[in-house]
Amino acid sequence: MSDTNTRMMFGKVALVTGAGRGIGAEIAKMMAARGAKVVVNDLGGSATGEGSDLAPAEQVVQEIKAGGGEAVTNGDSVADSAGAKRMVEQAIDEFGQLDCIVNNAGILRDVIFHKMTEDDFDAVINVHLKGSFNTSSAAAPIFRKQLSGSFVHMTSTSGLIGNFGQANYAAAKLGIVGLSKSIALDMSRFQVRSNCISPFAWSRLIGTIPTDDPAQAERVAKIKQMTPAHIAPLAVFLCSEQAEDVSGQIFAVRKNEIFLMGQSRPIRSVHREDGWTPETVAEHAIPAMKSSFYGLDRSADVFSWDAI
């Protein structure tokens, strides 16, 4: 690997949310290893969003410093717009600039839909979707003024494809796709980029998968091979100047695989010169299009082969 590649984030300042553990921690550490100064944000709450603890973020900062990098800790919640502004202000105060944000912070409140409470829904939306908006909104004026900047948002195949018991999470993660595309469109004139990553990785957020039978145990063993460290290279690249022509895209990373994911486009159409009635929709439109309907697929149905 050349010196140019190993220092591809040199001179950059990055804010990584949810960076005290898992994917966020690996991204923050790789950012620093490639030369970036990093604001390591993590509220340090539980997987379901309760409580707070600065220790995980502080540990990542110490690891970065031990490796010769520069980093500071931030314990604000992305769900709080004032907290998001403080993160951005801290980057400016500590390092004099801000060049990229990785919106990684997240929680889970998995429950089958008919038992999901309003609090279950709001808590997940507030961290994932509103949190991504809060940090992006706080940074947007800075990126606009300096005519540069990169956003990387974490989406999920739970939203892109589907999964059981995750209506709140799926809604948030698919909402993030729309948010990212809108940012990419609105801020392209200022050379600001926005992309999504859908990560497959073992973390504490999925660490509660039961292993009661051999099939489940085998599945979990395979998932554990998809470590958070596999996600970091793409995130670092997307924040670098080498990704200057990459914006508005959705990628998925699964172990050593990188996928470019599709975006919604028309796949079939029907037309009646005299217009439609509910009856002709039933008789003509739906039968004509039905062979192209999507099934009730889950992520595991589409990604049906073992990670490579």
> Which residues touch 156 (CB under 8 Å, ≥6 apart)?
169, 170, 173, 198, 199
- The answer to whether 24 touches 102, Cβ cutoff 8 Å, is yes
- Residue 294 appears among annotated catalytic residues: no
Q: Which residue has the tokens 């091979």?
A: 225
95, 121, 169, 251: which is the annotated catalytic residue?
Answer: 169
What six digits make up the tokens of 203?
Answer: 């973390």
Contact 224, 41 (CB under 8 A): no
State in Å, rounded, how far the first CA of the chain is from the last one. Answer: 23
280: which residues sit within 8 A by CB, 6+ positions away? Answer: 272
Considering only CA atoms, which of 16, 17, 56, 12 is closest in space to residue 34?
Answer: 12
Listing DSSP states for 184-201 in one string gives HHHHGGGTEEEEEEEEE-
Catalytic residue list? 169
